[in-house]
Amino acid sequence: MNSASQQSRIVVTGGAGYIGSHVVLALGESGYDVLTYDNLSTGNRDAILSGELVVGDLADKDLLAKILAEFRPDAVMHFAASIEVGESVTNPLKYYRNNSVNALNLLEALRVAGTGGVAGIGRMIFSSTAAVYGNPTQLPVTENAPFQPINPYGASKMMTERFLADLAQANSDFRYVALRYFNVAGADPKTRLGQDYANPTHLITRALKTALGIFPKLQVFGTDYPTPDGTCIRDYIHVADLAQAHLDALRYLSTGAQSAIFNCGYGHGFSVKDVVAMAKEVTGIDFTVE
């Protein structure tokens, strides 16, 4: 353990997933004692490269409270969620259950655990999303922009942010940071972790797998956006930088600072055509795009 973490114990929900696993690794390398709580429905146990893994579901409040009471973490990082925007439109109840209800289960389990603070654990880092902004009318988007989610995924994350804000308002012992991600990309610079899905929907991953011949072609959806090349522009943030943002948020709360919300992006975007062109340049393969 290094002095920065002061031997802090951190519970990470959803730590076997893409972003969570990178954060778990960063926590371990920074000297934190980490316990991952994940049902492995979409995560991979082999992605847990630091600390202990407990296989469990956030719907199991008894197990969750037991683990929290026994491990006695100093803070919780909450990643566990369903994240496909399109699926959230066709199956909204799944998203409200997995993202909103399970977040409430976690907060209730923290209270039952009773290990200090209002909720047992007085600090939380929440994995939120820029989808809570919907289609903002003013750019760049600041943290003060209004909630205007346009799909159940964004709405479910908005609900959790409201849970956290209300709890922090009701009890000064509870403090949180909500990190609103834009589009996360990349992999561990030492190639220990990455985005490993058989049928990825992420543009960069899918483009590279098309270049490798795993997919016969890359389909581009939408060429009439009000952008210079007609395709959607996204602000991408490297997963390693995002992992560092979580450690920074944890250290921020450890100073006694008040609850806060931070956007996580670089402030500039790349179009779909930009990404495709770069994938072709990097790989040297002129793969088929439709």
Q: What angle (nearest 5°) sits at the alpha carbon of residue 111, between those of residues 108 and 112?
A: 90
153 is catalytic: yes
Nearest to 114 by CA among 173, 51, 165: 173
d(C-alpha 44, C-alpha 60), whole Å: 20
- Cβ-Cβ contacts under 8 Å for 67 (sequence gap 6 or more): 11, 35, 37, 54, 56
Question: Hey, what amino acid is at 123?
Answer: R
d(C-alpha 185, C-alpha 19), whole Å: 9
Find the catalytic residue in 18, 32, 37, 153: 153
The two structure tokens encoding residue 156 = 């479910």
d(C-alpha 11, C-alpha 66), whole Å: 13
Other CB atoms within a 10 A radius of the CB of residue 161 amount to 19
d(C-alpha 54, C-alpha 51), whole Å: 10
The two structure tokens encoding residue 158 = 């908005």
d(C-alpha 255, C-alpha 54), whole Å: 29
Active site residues: 153
